[in-house]
Structure 1
Amino acid sequence: MATLKNFSTFIILLVVTVALLPRATFATIGIPNCSKGITSDCGFGFFKIIVLGDTSTPADVCCRELVKAGKNCHNQFVELIISSKKPIRGTISDVYRRGNETWNNCAASSVVSPPEPAH
Structure 2
Amino acid sequence: MESLKGFCSLMILLIINIVALSTNLNPVAAQVDVKTCADGTMTKQCGESIRLRVAMNVGPPPTKDCCAELVKVGKPCHDAYVQERHLKVHDFVGSAEDLLKRSDQVWTQCVNSIHPPAQAPAHFD
Please classify the TM superposition score into its range, dividing by the shorter chain length. 0.5 to 0.7
- 1:16-31 pair list within 5 angstroms: 29-30=34-35
Q: Percent identity?
A: 25
TM-score by length of 2: 0.61
1:37 to 41, 51, 55: 41
After TM superposition, where is structure 1 displaced by more than 3 Å over at least 4 residues in a row? none
Equivalent of 2:72 in 65, 68, 73:
68
Structure 1 residues 103 and 85: CA distance shift in structure 2, 3 A: same
Aligned length: 83
Relative CO higher for 1 or 2, CA cutoff 8 Å, sep ≥ 6? 2
Rg: which structure is higher? 2
Pair 96,46 (structure 1): closer, same or farther in 2 beyond 3 Å = same
Contact persistence 1:34–1:69 (CA under 8 A): yes
Q: Which runs of 5+ in 1 are unaligned?
A: 1-27, 113-119
- Secondary structure of the 1:54 match is coil
SS in 2 for 1:51: helix
Q: Secondary structure at the match of 2:56?
A: coil
Unaligned runs of 5+ in 2: 1-32, 117-125
Q: TM-score, normalized by length of structure 1?
A: 0.64
Q: Is the 8 A contact 2:49 2:59 kept in 1?
A: no
